[in-house]
Structure 1
């Protein structure tokens, strides 16, 4: 089990690496996280919704993701309320107190059943913790960290992020706040995201091992591997992937909605040649981009009202008379329409709202959630695969050009000369479509066209998993890892 001294220390990526390492070494391996709070989710083949990290880890393990790998998913909706998803399906919207006091214990049999099914199918389970195991005020209801280690008799490896500073204090402090039984479960330490000369760290590692009597199993150098993120802490680091500079030929402004979700939709844009991506939270920041993207959100109505309050809505309406291209995905697509009907108060306080009015659609929010993987052909002639995850149903008032026709004959979205609206997440992960989309903008701006010979997203992810395997394997004591698992090392 991988646990961390804090959020965003690299637990998910290390679990992904271990899943690929064990799979490449010939073992049947599966990921598991009992309870996940994530803004980015993953849709399984049977339409279940789990944390994106477990979906990615399953792919790294070369298996299909199932809801057993993340039986409880919490999706923040705002005001201390989260949507609770149990075994891939909507269960309820709960405030934090109700969840901790009334739900956690009643759901433990479901968690144990998931673990049992996975244990029967796989040689190795790679468990991921959540945040820190040493949150004193939460420990009595924490089912994501040490309780899971006890339930599975797992060896715990504690991970700390040296990049944020205070690595020794965070490790010692975490261990001091564990009780004796918990501390006994920690069999190793990983120092993650290291930059610099390891020789300068050796004396500190020697002191740490002597003080804690726990071996440091690896110092993992920082690597910018393209693995999808799952929470808002990772979102802030997206700004660092490319600097905010004027040298980019194409300027993409992404509206930084307060309840932004599934922002992994944006990942491919950071790799598109000559494209600069920046996040916009005010009318002052909007300026005059080539492309405006309104991404997905956990609360379309509240985020649309925020668009109005910030003046960004008015800015978008002014820019639509220029050459700007606009893309709305899921909640962003709903905002591009004429009307948002929330009579059942699913998204907020209820009522009907006039939206941006850029597309002739009307959206009605209903209780039934659509979660499904989809494939189809875009109106540009490109194969599209992705997933839907939304509560609203949108209908066009007049005949429109659909953006996608699915394999089953259904259609989705609206396509015009300057606007794309779609419920499908992951459209930019379809790299041939993305290259075509930006080449059209390049052509309109008199810029050179970029080659359409491009790796698929699956090929890119496979390269990332293999690179991660070699990187982590090189710097981690895999002999000790296999000893902890009581398994024979095959390579």
Structure 2
């Protein structure tokens, strides 16, 4: 099978309908058939991001899709990334580089400019690959966002690419979602829709078939397939936090809590803990008491000083103090690392209106938010509990931190992280530490888990991608997507 079209766009009836997963799965299907394929998302809004090999920043979902396609992620796979730093403002990343923060009104005019780098990046990928799989954003039925659209049908029309629409039947109302979405489109946009995919179906398919026949007759569009509800897959989340967690025997597990601050970022840092058989991971909802646990991990944040204020408003600062008093451990990653220090300053107002705040004071650090963002992949050695372990990760942050004390990580880029003299609080700028199996085991040992098992997130991702691709091969009529030449 060789695609007759060099591009296919996946749009959805809603957010989280399955666009990201479908692009990843189709990418793996084409890779297994020897086709050079790449993912592309014109515009993404997410606080989960990844660093490319050339030092750019893209949405985490596109980096995962690149993995599915067997290629290195590049900035052209997600030329516009919006990282919200308030309810109506966002930092805008253009082809991997951070620009100014704009409010929603300013972005309307910005979109007129944004189509140029979007089309430039798409053209580059088309020249490099046999097929480009494009992911839309949200839904094309959002009529209030149609003007100068670069994320859905506006891009599809400009690039002249075919579109499929995916809907999540597990939410209910799947036929209304699909028919209603189609009705919100212009005639030319409806004409480029080549079919539908129904996602996350459970039960007897024969019970659904009358509805499928009705849908095809009503719209004149084929149902390309019905994808079953797949459980137990480890697929990187675009932005929403998946709090699914199996509770294990507490005598055999380490209990870990991650407080969810309003602008939490890169919560994919904890994916390796979610699948670890000896770890019980919980995300604490804003304003709720922190559950009793062995380890509290303060996550990354897009607006650190603001999120630190929220942490105090929720009373989590006092709960952390009590947790440490009773023998618990605390860890901070990126923004969480900055919060654990003595002082944070944002003299240029880059992340918000609060320009200075005292940190929680557990680590001897002083952070100043600068205009230049640090974006780098890194590898080195983690030193902890009198042992060392190889570690890899990445840095994405605006702050520069002065620190004094015992550092955690040594690498060719220098020293990173800090641990306090009481050996119960540590912090680091490195995202992805738990993805390194040996480093994960060492960190869990420090937190109180003896004889921690080795878990490979990389292996689990590969298994999940192949299970997903197998399901798509079985459930989709690929001939309707890519007729054989």
Report the TM-score, using the length of structure 2 for normalisation: 0.93
Q: 1:394 to 1:441 in 2, by over 3 A?
A: closer
- Answer yes or no: is the 8 Å Cα contact 1:272–1:435 preserved in 2: no
Counterpart of 2:4?
Answer: none
Is residue 97 of structure 2 the alignment partner of residue 89 of structure 1?
Answer: yes
Alpha-carbon deviation of 1:362?
0.8
**Paired residue for 1:32?**
40
Q: Mark the runs of 5 or more structure 1 residues left unpaired by the alignment.
A: none
Q: Tell me, what secondary structure is at the counterpart of 1:467?
A: helix
CA distance in 1, matches of 2:308, 2:285: 13
CA distance 1:243–1:171, shift in 2 (3 Å): farther
* 1:462 correspondence with 2:462: yes
**Aligned partners of 1:284 and 1:178: how far apart in 2?**
42
Q: Secondary structure at the match of 1:141?
A: coil
Alignment of structure 1 residues 370-449 onto 2, 5 Å: 370-380=374-384, 381-396=388-403, 398=404, 400-406=405-411, 408-416=412-420, 417-441=423-447, 443=449, 449=451
1:217 equivalent in alignment to 2:192: no
Q: CA deviation at 1:141?
A: 2.6
Partner of 1:119 in structure 2? 126
Aligned residues: 471
Match of 1:189 among 190, 196, 209: 196
For residues 124-182 of structure 1, give each alpha carbon's deviation from its aligned partner in whole angstroms, at most 9, with x where no partner exists.
Answer: 01011111101111111321111222223221111000000000010110011111101
Structure 2 equivalent of residue 328 of structure 1: 332
Residue in structure 1 matched with residue 147 of structure 2 by the alignment: 140
The answer to whether the 8 Å contact 1:378/1:405 transfers is yes
CA distance in 2, matches of 1:313, 1:25: 53
* Structure 1 partner of 2:3: none
- Distance, in Å, in 2 between the alignment partners of 1:119 and 1:57 is 16
Q: Distance in 2 between matches of 1:245 and 1:10?
A: 33
Structure 1 position 116, deviation (Å)? 1.2
Q: Is the 8 A contact 1:17 1:60 kept in 2?
A: yes
CA distance in structure 1 between the partners assigned to 2:156 and 2:80 by the alignment = 17
Find the residue that maps to 1:178 and give its secondary structure: coil
The answer to whether the Cα contact below 8 Å between 1:343 and 1:350 also exists between their aligned partners in 2 is: no
Taking a change above 3 Å as real, the CA distance of residues 82 and 351 of structure 1, as seen in their structure-2 partners, is closer
Residue 420 (structure 1) shift: 2.2
2:355 matches 1:351 = yes
Q: 1:426 to 1:172 in 2, by over 3 A?
A: same
Q: Is the 8 A contact 2:278 2:452 kept in 1?
A: no
Extract unaligned runs of 5+ from structure 2: 1-8
Question: Displacement, 1:278?
Answer: 1.5
Distance in 1, matches of 2:111 and 2:382, equals: 43
- 1:306 corresponds in structure 2 to 310
Displacement of 1:208 after TM fit? 0.8
1:183 alignment partner, SS class? helix
CA separation in 2, counterparts of 1:351 and 1:63? 41
Which residue matches 2:86? 78
Alignment partners' CA distance in 2, 1:413 and 1:87: 29
Question: Secondary structure of the residue that 1:59 maps to in structure 2?
Answer: helix
CA deviations 1:321-379 (Å, max 9, x no partner) are: 22211110000000000111222222222432111111111111111110111111101
1:59 aligns with 2:59: no
**2 CA distance for matches of 1:480 and 1:247?**
52
Find out whether 1:263 has 2:267 as its counterpart: yes
Structure showing greater relative contact order (alpha-carbon pairs closer than 8 Å, 6 or more residues apart):
2
Give 1:472's aligned residue: 472
Q: Is the 8 A contact 2:345 2:367 kept in 1?
A: yes
State the alpha-carbon separation in 2 of the partners of residues 55 and 443 from structure 1.
31
Q: Distance in 2 between matches of 1:122 and 1:401?
A: 47
Deviations 1:269-328 (A, max 9, x none): 111113212222367521431010100011000000111111111111222122211110
Q: Contact 1:282 / 1:312 at 8 angstroms: preserved in 2?
A: no
User: Whole-Å Cα distance in 1 between the matches of residues 382 and 395 of structure 2?
Assistant: 15
Query: What are the superposed Cα offsets for residues 413-436 of structure 1, whole Å, 9 maximum, x if unpaired?
Result: 113422220001111111222123
Residue pair 2:370, 2:398 contacting (<8 A) in 1 also: yes
1:3 matched to 2:11? The reply is: yes
Distance 1:245 1:183, change over 3 A: farther
Q: In 1, Cα distance between the equivalents of 2:123 and 2:470?
A: 31
Shift, 1:247, TM fit: 7.3
Compute the RMSD of aligned alpha carbons. 1.7
Rounded Cα–Cα distance in structure 2 between residues aligned with 1:183 and 1:191:
18
1:21 aligns with 2:29: yes
Distance across 1 between alignment mates of 2:482 and 2:288: 54
Distance 1:22 1:177 in 2: 31
